[in-house]
Chains A and B, each alone.
Chain A
């Protein structure tokens, strides 16, 4: 079989892949309108359970992305992700506070970055999210801790000019260094 014949044969098989590029802007716009209407119709039939699953999967993927990224200028991601988590599951933050057996005031302070979460809060959050994320493959309950400490590292490194000079004066180094 010649190379051309072989390629033509392969192009006729379903497995080689897809050329799905639009031929014109008009074609793209027409398809977009039709598709959006069909998606809205399908969304109207999508169950609440599937919508929540999608939101939780989105949160899990965003947490993964944060933990795997090299970005260091992002801060307060822990409270941002926690806010999303609570708002996905509950209508009111107070209900989450009740379920975690903490006061609404302390939850509010954590969410507004006015109070550091305690060890017990993390443990309760891990237990809670373990159950909630059960349907989402690959969620690690320790991710909350990892996000929190990643925030801490980012924050510390971003403010080196505020603490480094003062601390350097206090540090002694061995002679060989």
Chain B
């Protein structure tokens, strides 16, 4: 999986791994938008460039095996990777694709990732990731979930 450095179009291999206890002191709200300590009882994964420690994106989620889905709780790129002047592109997509792979591994044909964004950004997720909308919940299932995985799950 990779992200793109916007200024140079250079591709960088990434790693997505669980956040460690020692990471929490390096996750200030002014860089990562949310108080990630509040998510400590859920699974939190971080995105870094391979071989580097700087965290460029974060996702927290809840596996709901009874419903065969993974619900994304919080998702963000670091502040310098947001907006028109962002340094790296594809951070959010990679984090979503990673969780989508977990959902397929755990639930096969019933794989589902869901999230519940505020109204103004829902359309962005529908357009960009082809998410389905049910009430106020957005979700990705088979077959659209394949497209997300294939778009991001490669090293070149």
B-binding residues in A (CB < 8 A): 3, 7, 9-22, 31-32, 34-36, 38-39, 42-43, 46-47, 50-51, 53-55, 57-58, 61-62, 65, 137-138
Q: Give, as a whole number of angstroms, the nearest-CB distance from A60 to chain B.
A: 9
Q: Determine the residue in chain B with the shortest Cβ distance to A135.
A: B146
CB distance from B118 to the nearest CB of A (A): 7
Do the beta carbons of B105 and A32 come within 8 Å of each other? no
Assuming the A-B contacts A10-B83, A46-B109, are A58 and B104 also in contact, with contact meaning beta carbons closer than 8 angstroms in the complex? yes
Contact B77 A15 (CB under 8 A): yes
Q: Which residues of B contact A (CB under 8 A)?
A: 30, 33-34, 64, 67, 69, 71-77, 79, 82-83, 86, 92, 101, 104-105, 107-112, 114-118, 120-121, 124-125, 132, 134-137, 139, 141-143, 146, 149-150, 153-154
Bound Cα distance A62, B104 (Å): 10
Contacting residues, chain B, for A17 (C-beta < 8 A): 33, 74-77, 92
Residues of B contacting A: mostly: mixed
Which residues of chain B have C-beta atoms less than 8 A from A14's C-beta?
120-121, 124
Asked whether, in the complex, the Cβ of A35 is within 8 Å of the Cβ of B33, the reply is no
In the complex, the answer to whether A16 meets B33 with C-beta atoms within 8 Å is yes
A42 & B141 in contact (Cβ 8 Å cutoff): yes
Question: What is the CA–CA distance of A47 and B146 in the complex, to the nearest angstrom?
Answer: 14
What is the CA–CA distance of A47 and B109 in the complex, to the nearest angstrom? 11
Given the complex of chains A and B, what is the CA–CA distance between A59 and B54 in angstroms? Answer: 33
A-B contact pairs, 18 of them (CB 8 A): A16-B76, A18-B72, A18-B115, A18-B118, A19-B73, A19-B74, A20-B74, A31-B137, A34-B134, A35-B112, A43-B141, A50-B109, A50-B146, A51-B142, A58-B107, A58-B111, A65-B105, A137-B153
User: Cβ of B112: which chain A residues have Cβ within 8 Å of it?
Assistant: 35, 39
Interchain CB contact (< 8 A) of A11 among B33, B104, B142: B33
Is the beta-carbon distance between B77 and A54 smaller than 8 angstroms?
no
Q: Residue of B at shortest CB range from A13?
A: B83
